[in-house]
Structure 1
Amino acid sequence: MRGYMGKFLERIMEISRLISSGNYPNREQLAEKLGVDKRTITRYIAWMKNQLNAPIEFNRKKNGYIFTRPFDLFPDGLSSDQVLTLFLLNKVSKQLWDNDTKLSPEKIISRVKNYIDEKIITGVEDKASRINFRIGKPRVFDSNTYSHLLEALFENYQCKISYFSMSSGPSERVIEPYHLINIRGDWYVIAYCHKRKEVRTFALSRINKIKVLKQPFTVRDDFNIDEYLAYSFVIERGERKYKVRIRFAPEVAWLIGERIWHSSQSIEKLDDGSLILQMELSGLNEVKRWVLSFGEYARVLQPPELIDMVANTVERIDKLYKSSG
């Protein structure tokens, strides 16, 4: 099964090609060619009219669809920079989906090439070969999980999942997918959970089974993805907000100062070359692990809860190494 979005784009291009042939294909013929039902064809035709302003009309005498004027999916052509962007997106996608060709847009690109001058393709392929990405290997998950979630997300269908939670173990849940997000190479779905009666975050790597239910839902009016993740250091959300203050030694202060670690951050530079990073976060486990990665060069100043978490972890590490001889 290819990715839901990939299938959608391929079908739109195929419908455009078949109608452009001048053979007046009807719903039944298009459905048979694409391997879908007639209602799906009706939705695709409506989408092309509304989103692409495609001049599609049904000719009753010919019993089929026709473009009333010339129609091109790429009316202004594609510049070499736009084609390069497409090739680079393909490189990124291969890493995001761990080179799973079922989810890669490679087949879409091969079709798009039919609309592009060969000289542009040759030049772009050379440029793309000199640019690469290393965004980290994603956690392993079934490609069907991603495809099913896309379908549920775009059609507003509920899903039934078997999920493993780090805190409560395995469980069966019905969720309503609101948002799919990739953070640092890992995929998560933000969804309303019927079991917990609130919006939760689910890692795709921990979804063992998934079934798309044909039960529609409506996204809550008060949901906003930016607000939902506003106080997350990465993806973790807690029940309350904390003012986090961390002092970094001069040896690593330059590293801290050259990046935006969180949208709420402020930096205070001190005379000895060290600095204090301040952020407002709602979860402390992710920032705890981050602080520990700097070893003796980072010291938590606030809140007391984070100080205790880091100190307890350091104490356990110390005991581990001392006991190992």
Structure 2
Amino acid sequence: MEQLSRAMQLHHLLLTSRQPPSRDYLLERLECSVSTFKRLLQTLREQHQIPIIFDRALGGYRYETEPDSLTLPSAFFTESELFALLMAEQLLDQAQPGLLGTSIARLRTQTRELLGRDRSGRSLLRLHLVARQSVKTEIFDTVLNALLCANRLQFGYRRVEGSSAENSHRAVSPQTLLWYRDNWYLIAFCHAREALRIFALSRMDRPQLLTELAVVCDEAEVAALLGSGYGIFPGSTPLRAEVLFDPSAAPWVEPVQWHPEQQMERLADGRIYLAIPFNDLRELTRDLLRFAAEMEVISPPELRQAVVAAMTAGLERHGT
């Protein structure tokens, strides 16, 4: 991978330098010896037909043909690395259709050809995203543009709390995009609340890019927003959930990392004890209800009550 890294850096230097860079300049930027540089040039020229020449009149290296017709040698990648590229491309394309467009169409085609997909006709990779909330392309593009330009953003927002919803107008400073559980979220500094907040892109309406520069928050603040508790909902003081699962739930409970700080133990009677920190009842309650007939919440009381209330409401709805 070191050779690939130098090849990519050399490619960037040749494309971006106003004048063909000299050998001494390239050696300094690539942080390599003369012999290593010569081997790199030989590999690029002979094995991958990359036409790099030394222009004596200009005293530096350049491409002999137009840069737009060149691609970096894909042979530098192992098959597992090419497969990882294909997986990342397909994940992004399914996560947000139209995001990649034609910008990496050549890379996508080359990767699939090198992996033999066109010859074999088989697909070695399938991604099936479940419960993905739809985000309009124009909304995603506007949010992404605000992030890249470091400008403020305003939009209408529909906040859902239980069975009720609240519509509001927000002006924010975008900090980062978050892909969580097959859905897109924007972490941003809300100027109305004067604090960091998390916004689901699927609940945004008519976002507009503003001319004011965004407020940039410290990375530690952004990381702290998600807190140390379970799920995406923020909170300052996590509570501790303790849950017992029946042995029948083991295949779906034991292999899962519920939280980096979880405590999990298989008891003598075959049940599974799980303890995790959490900040908000909503997400954890919904996840535990998947095991409604196979688990019992031991503590805290408010989590136990929330699960029991949801079960009771479900029984009442199906009572007839």
Q: Which moved more, 1:275-284 or 1:48-57?
A: 48-57
**Aligned counterparts of 2:13 and 2:113: Cα–Cα separation in 1:** 30
Higher relative CO (Cα under 8 Å, sequence separation at least 6) belongs to: 1
- Contact 1:189 1:203 (8 Å CA) reproduced: yes
TM-score with structure 2 setting the length: 0.73
8 Å contact from structure 1 (residues 95, 136) kept in 2: no
- Give the letter aligned to residue 85 of structure 2: L
Residues 87 and 113 (structure 1 numbering): CA distance in 2 closer, same or farther, change over 3 Å?
Answer: closer
What pairs up with 1:1-325 in 2 under 5 angstroms?
Answer: 52-54=12-14, 55-57=16-18, 69-70=61-62, 75-78=72-75, 79=77, 81=79, 82-97=81-96, 100=97, 102-105=98-101, 107-112=102-107, 120=114, 122=116, 126=120, 129-167=123-161, 169-221=166-218, 223-322=220-319, 325=320
**TM-score with structure 1 length normalisation?**
0.72
Change (3 A) 1:50 1:285: farther
- Shift of the 77–296 alpha-carbon distance from structure 1 to 2, 3 Å rule, reads closer
3-state DSSP of counterpart to 2:211: strand
Residue 5 of structure 1: aligned partner: none
Q: CA deviation at 1:70?
A: 2.5
Alpha-carbon distance in structure 1 between the residues aligned to 2:59 and 2:71? 15
Q: What do the CA deviations read for 1:33-64 (whole angstroms, capped 9, x no partner)? A: xxxxxxxxxxxxxxx999933452169xxxxx
Q: 1:253 Cα shift? A: 2.7
Q: 1:257-291, CA deviations, whole angstroms, 9 ceiling, x for partnerless residues?
A: 11211111111221100011001111111111111
Return 160-169 or 219-228, whichever deviates more.
219-228
Q: Specify the alignment match of 2:47 in structure 1.
A: none
Letter in 1 for 2:18: E
Letter in 2 for 1:53: L
Cα pair 1:96 1:137 within 8 Å, conserved: no
Deviation at 1:69, TM superposition (A): 2.3
**In the alignment, is the contact (CA less than 8 A) between 1:265 and 1:279 conserved in 2?**
yes
* Cα shift readout 1:208-241 (whole Å, capped 9, x = no counterpart): 1100112112322264544332434331223531
SS at the partner of 2:103?
helix
Query: Residues of 2 paired with 1:145 and 1:276: CA distance?
Result: 43
Provide structure 2 residue ranges, at least 5 long, that are not aligned to the other structure: 1-7, 21-57
Conserved? CA contact 2:86–2:108, under 8 Å: no
C-alpha distance in 1 between matches for 2:139 and 2:152: 14
* 8 A contact 1:84–1:127 mirrored in 2: no
What SS does structure 2 have at the residue aligned with 1:296? coil
8 Å contact from structure 2 (residues 244, 272) kept in 1: yes
Q: For 1:276-322, what per-residue CA distance to the aligned partner results, in whole angstroms no more than 9, with x for missing partners?
A: 10011111111111111101211111111101111122222222222
- Check the 8 A contact 1:95/1:138 in 2, yes or no: no
What residue ranges of structure 1 are gaps of 5+ in the alignment?
1-47, 60-65
